[in-house]
Amino acid sequence: MANQPVAIVTAAGRGIGAACARALHAKGYRLALMSPSERSIELARELGGIGFSGSVTEQADIDRLVGATLETYGRIDAVVNNTGYEKYSVVEGSFGAAFNWEAETDPLDVPDEYWHEALDLFLLNVVRMARAVTPVMQRQGGGAMVNISAICAQLPMLDYPMSSTIRTVLSSFVKLYTDMYVRDGIRMNNLLLGYVANLDYPDEAYHTIPMGRAASLDEIARNCIAYLGEDASYIAGENLFVDGGVNRSL
Amino acid sequence: MTDRPAAIVTAAGQGIGAAIARDLHRRGYRLALMSPSTRSIELADELGGVGLQGSVTEPADIERLVEAATGAYGRIDAVVNNTGFEKWSVGLESKQPYFNPDAKAHLLDIPDEDWHENLDLFVLNVVRMARAMTPHFREHGGGAFVNISASCAIEPQSEYPFSSSTRAALSSFTRLYSDKYARHNIRMNTILVGYVENVGDAETYSHLPMQRAASFEEIARNCALFLSEETSYVTGESIYADGGHHRAL
């Protein structure tokens, strides 16, 4: 039991986060889960882990989560930095093709305070977790983090103005972090997700996806775990598309 | 005389911004300049333009600048969004650009509030100017923005943690803006500047394909090019002006 690896998952109450938690549990990980609602507490109970109600936009909540994880399990091997949706996204917008000038959103209409909120939600969530977990992983001799991001981080889409800009910052941060800490055995990678089956898309959306379908939550979770594991031991600082072939750039 | 184009330049008091102002003046542009110091006022006096003291991180200052510029010239053709340096840059420490795990700019020590400040300095400066100028450009049938950014926006470099991360959002924003407004004949491009004459030394330059830094004047010429009709079909781009340094295809 004590040889089982330990993983932290944020925004674990539902969707991608909950699927990652279940998949990690199936692989033998011991879990520490957090989400703004009570759902991650219930899920943790079901999976025999520890659960907290808290937000990745609060350093104190992250410190509490990391502290409790260490107290309970004595180590942290893996972190999945999952987070919420952006306020300004328009799901009924364009699909596949990045360009939709008819998008209801105009990036100039996004108020300054939403830009700052998005920085807290899509970038500083990872920075804060990295501050808390890096010394732990350094002491242990290593660890792995996967950040759940979106393809629009690298293929900007008007329908998702904050994901398309602030998440780009995360694509750079993962490289800076790797420059500094991969020598301590800590790997950090971003998963850039395309269409995921937890949302409904109009039929025409699927015509723009080479695979013709959205990703299932389970296959995102399997992918996430693969990048946390030893099979990916030489992959660090990468932005990895998990998008059914939508990405065009080489 | 009134056929001459007009341009706004921010952070125009020194360095790249001042060189851009002088270059545009030579090309016949009428100028509206702003910088946090009084230097852009002095430069505007010298070049026969309008100068203001103010910061791109203050929406009210940007609005004041736009009002002064449109008040003086009626129509504005071009905007150069230049901005200051990042607080956390430690200057070039390693002689092997890009990867330097020993950089003194310690990534995780940077407080949250500095991340927010840099969002204001490197992204929202452009967003605010775009909000203020887009209606004007639409009314007058078009216009062009050039944002002065850094090559590490796309190829991150340990010594410049914010230029290497926050400025990446600007390259994405440049695309989003073009998606929305290219059809209105408004172009926006971002110039990714590499080593400029005030950064680096001979050993640094020995690692650059051109073996030298850019002069302020050649960055300014580049900026003028992307404001001009020569580049009428170029928009939403992040263009390297880095002497061949970056690696990505």
Give the C-alpha distances (Å, rounded to integers) separating B208 from A66, A175, B194, B211.
Answer: 43, 21, 10, 5
pLDDT at A97: 45
Supply the Cα-derived Rg of chain B in whole angstroms. Answer: 17
Average pLDDT for B236-244: 90
**Nearest-CA neighbor of A130 among A188, A84, A217?**
A188
Residue B96 has pLDDT above 60, yes or no: no
Would the CB atoms of B165 and A180 count as touching at under 8 Å?
no
Band of pLDDT at residue A3, cut at 50, 70 and 90: confident
Average pLDDT for A30-36: 97
Give the C-alpha distances (Å, rounded to integers) separating A186 from A9, B181, B225.
Answer: 17, 43, 44
pLDDT at A210: 86
- Cα B189 from Cα B226, distance rounded (Å): 7
Element spanning A43, H or E: helix A39-47
Would the CB atoms of A168 and B124 count as touching at under 8 Å?
no
Percent of chain A with pLDDT over 70: 92
Half-sphere exposure of A201 (CA within 13 A, CB side): 20
Amino acid identity, position A122: F
When mean pLDDT is compared across A88-97, A144-153, A214-223, the lowest value belongs to A88-97
DSSP symbols for A92-103: TS--SSS--TT-
DSSP symbols for chain B: -TTS-EEEEES-SSHHHHHHHHHHHHTT-EEEEEESSSHHHHHHHHHTSEEEE--TT-HHHHHHHHHHHHHHHS---EEEE-----TT------SSSS--TT-SS-GGGS-HHHHHHHHIIIIIHHHHHHHHHHHHHHHTT-EEEEEEEEGGGTS--TT-TTTTTHHHHHHHHHHHHHHHHGGGTEEEEEEEE--BTTS--HHHHTTSTTSSPBPHHHHHHHHHHHHSGGGTT--S-EEEESTT-----
Band of pLDDT at residue A247, cut at 50, 70 and 90: confident
Q: Does B26 touch chain A (CB under 8 A)?
A: no
When mean pLDDT is compared across A55-69, A129-143, B166-180, B190-204, the lowest value belongs to B190-204
Would the CB atoms of B124 and A106 count as touching at under 8 Å?
no
Residue A173 tokens read as 């941060």
**A119 φ/ψ angles, rounded to the nearest 5 degrees:** -60, -40
When mean pLDDT is compared across A128-142, B84-98, B158-172, B189-203, the lowest value belongs to B84-98
Band of pLDDT at residue A249, cut at 50, 70 and 90: confident
Element spanning A146, H or E: strand A143-150
Residue of B62, B108, B122 to mutate, interface with A, max A Cβ within 10 Å: B108
Average pLDDT for B187-202: 90
pLDDT at A174: 95
Would the CB atoms of A100 and B107 count as touching at under 8 Å?
no
Q: Does B168 touch chain A (CB under 8 A)?
A: yes
For the stretch A92-113, pLDDT in tens is 444 444 556 666 778 899 999 9
Half-sphere exposure of B30 (CA within 13 A, CB side): 17
Chain B, 191 to 210: residues with Cβ < 8 Å from chain A are none
Is residue A210 helix, strand or coil? Answer: coil
ipTM of the modeled complex: 0.79
Would the CB atoms of A107 and B115 count as touching at under 8 Å?
no
Band of pLDDT at residue B54, cut at 50, 70 and 90: very high
pLDDT at B93: 57
Average pLDDT for B142-169: 91
**Nearest-CA neighbor of A90 among A153, A163, A19, A192?**
A163
Q: Which one has a higher pLDDT value, A176 or A90?
A: A176
Would the CB atoms of A169 and B99 count as touching at under 8 Å?
no
- Cα A210 from Cα B176, distance rounded (Å): 24
Q: Interface of chain A against chain B, CB under 8 Å?
A: 59, 98-101, 103, 106-108, 110, 112, 115-116, 119-120, 123-124, 127-128, 130-131, 134, 153, 156-158, 161, 164-166, 168-169, 171-173, 175-177, 179-180, 183, 250
The per-residue pLDDT of chain B, averaged, comes to 91
- Cα A78 from Cα B88, distance rounded (Å): 29
**B55 φ/ψ angles, rounded to the nearest 5 degrees:** -120, 140
When mean pLDDT is compared across A10-14, A221-225, B242-246, the lowest value belongs to B242-246
pLDDT at A143: 97
Would the CB atoms of A180 and B103 count as touching at under 8 Å?
yes
pLDDT at A96: 46
**B34 φ/ψ angles, rounded to the nearest 5 degrees:** -140, 145
pLDDT at A250: 73
- Cα A236 from Cα A223, distance rounded (Å): 15
Residue A1 has pLDDT above 90, yes or no: no
Residue A135 has pLDDT above 50, yes or no: yes
pLDDT at B60: 97
Q: Which residues lie closer than 8 Å to B191 by C-beta, 6 or more apart?
A: B146, B147, B148, B149, B219, B222, B223, B226, B239, B241
Band of pLDDT at residue B94, cut at 50, 70 and 90: low
Supply the Cα-derived Rg of chain A in whole angstroms. Answer: 17
For the stretch A52-70, pLDDT in tens is 999 999 999 999 999 999 9
CB A150 within 8 A of CB A170: no
Average pLDDT for A152-179: 92
Band of pLDDT at residue A90, cut at 50, 70 and 90: low
Residue A122 has pLDDT above 60, yes or no: yes
Residue A129 has pLDDT above 60, yes or no: yes
- Alpha-carbon gap: A217 to the closest alpha carbon of chain B (Å): 27
pLDDT at B89: 66
Is residue A240 helix, strand or coil? Answer: strand
Residue B200 has pLDDT above 70, yes or no: yes
Residue B106 has pLDDT above 90, yes or no: no
State the SS3 of B192-246. Answer: EECCECCCCCHHHHCCCCCCCCECHHHHHHHHHHHHCHHHCCCCCCEEEECCCCC
DSSP conformational letter for A216: P
Residue B210 tokens read as 């051109």
pLDDT at B92: 56
Residue B87 tokens read as 């607080």
